[in-house]
Structure 1
Amino acid sequence: MGHINFLLEHYGYFGIIIALLGGIIGLPIPDEVLLTYVGYNVFQEKMAYLPSLFSAFIGAFGGISLSYFFGIKLGLPFLQRFGPKFHITNVRINKTKALFAKFGPTLLFIGYFIPGVRHVTAYLAGINSYSFKKFAIYAYSGAIVWCFTFITLGKLLGEKWRFFAFYLMKNRILIIPAVMLLLIFGLVYWKKRKRTVNTKGAFE
């Protein structure tokens, strides 16, 4: 947490961009904890909500795009050789390759919420010669949902964000998919509610 606090205190919104650029490429930065902490700073009114979201989007877009272009230019041998130095192990690469074969570009969207996967999906998209347009549609929309989810959580949790961050670090493999499921259920409920309101309005 010390380096995250240092980045935000000394570089503000630019610190969010730097941290996410490095974290998504593969540096050992706890991205979800960072985003939740940013939300807590919004709660404390040390940062503003919309600029924080915008900075997170830029950092996530930049990190995922760099990974994509590395995949295009350097290919799988580079990832297999140098990935372990950035905590991207061959086990993680092979696991993500299997998921990528099963889910295709959808993994670019949902991969942010799967521990250890978001660091590899963009490389694989580049290695598999996805067009930039196809890559951007899935990867950037996933980044928006991911950043919005955890910054908003930190803002809503307020002082309790530390408890969430502690359990997140200990149980990421369970908590992050659970957060994603809650988000999906929330969106489905909102759409159904909106459809019901529109239907009632049509008959009035």
Structure 2
Amino acid sequence: MSSPNVDGIAGWAISLMETLGAPGAGLAIALENLFPPLPSEVILPLAGFTASKGNMGLFDAVLWTTLGSVVGALALYGVGALLGRERVVAIASKLPLVSVADIEKTEAWFAKHGRKTVFFGRMIPIFRSLISIPAGVERMPVTVFTLLTTLGSLIWNTAFVMAGYLLGENWSLVEQYMGIVSKSVLAIVVLAMVIFVVVRLSDKRKGKHHAEQ
């Protein structure tokens, strides 16, 4: 395959796939799970483009990228399980604006919605990697976590690999449009954090005011 004239992450991913084939695509996606700044929105369409050139099978591209997603997610699940609830609570209790009550509310929410969160979270940029950690902290049954992660990743990966396969040389269109989505998700997360901080500071001021009275 003659490589597209690209550099950076895309160039690295192309080189990996040219060297290792479909397993290279799987390795790239496993690393993307561990390091969210590596965007699957670039790697997956590139895998599809590579398949369209005959350098790997389309089925192999989907299979290996999904396997890579699961391996990366399990690694982060292990990090969460290793930290455990007590360490997370201990760390959080030392952070400003965070209380143990917040963690308990989060635990209760995850216990109720955890399965849906893991499944649908695999299809949300940035969040798709981070969701594995609380799943590990809460010790979601690993078989359930693996199944939900596999199904969610299979849908996400198939869509993007197929897009790259069908677009061919225009595979970068996927990255352009998904870049807008990723930035929107990031903006929502930042806004939520700002609102959380403002509300928490407001509650602290009210508490201090009542104490002084």
TM-score (norm 2): 0.66
Does residue 112 (structure 1) correspond to residue 122 (structure 2)? The answer is yes
Q: Which runs of 5+ in 2 are unaligned?
A: 1-9, 92-97, 186-213
State the superposition RMSD in angstroms: 2.7
> How many pairs does the alignment contain?
161
Match of residue 40, structure 2, among 31, 45, 54: 31
Deviations 1:8-42 (A, max 9, x none): 12222221121111111225211121001111111
Match of residue 64, structure 1, among 69, 73, 77: 73
Change (3 A) 1:46 1:105: same
Counterpart code for 1:47: M
Deviations 1:46-95 (A, max 9, x none): 221111111112111111111112211123657x98xxxxxxxx9xxx9x
* Cα distance between partner residues in 2 of 1:109 and 1:173: 21
Identity of aligned residues (%): 25
The 4+ residue runs of structure 1 with deviation greater than 6 A are: none
Does residue 168 (structure 1) correspond to residue 190 (structure 2)? The answer is no
* Cα distance between partner residues in 2 of 1:67 and 1:23: 12
1:103, distance to aligned residue in structure 2 (A): 3.4
Aligned to 2:15: 6
* Cα distance between partner residues in 2 of 1:121 and 1:27: 12
* Cα distance between partner residues in 2 of 1:162 and 1:25: 23
SS at match of 2:131: helix
Aligned to 1:152: 162
Aligned to 1:138: 148
Change (3 A) 1:75 1:22: farther
Match of residue 52, structure 1, among 47, 53, 61: 61
Deviations 1:121-160 (A, max 9, x none): 1111110111112212211111111111111111122222
Aligned to 1:21: 30
TM-score (norm 1): 0.69
Counterpart code for 1:22: L
The higher radius of gyration belongs to 2
SS at match of 1:21: helix
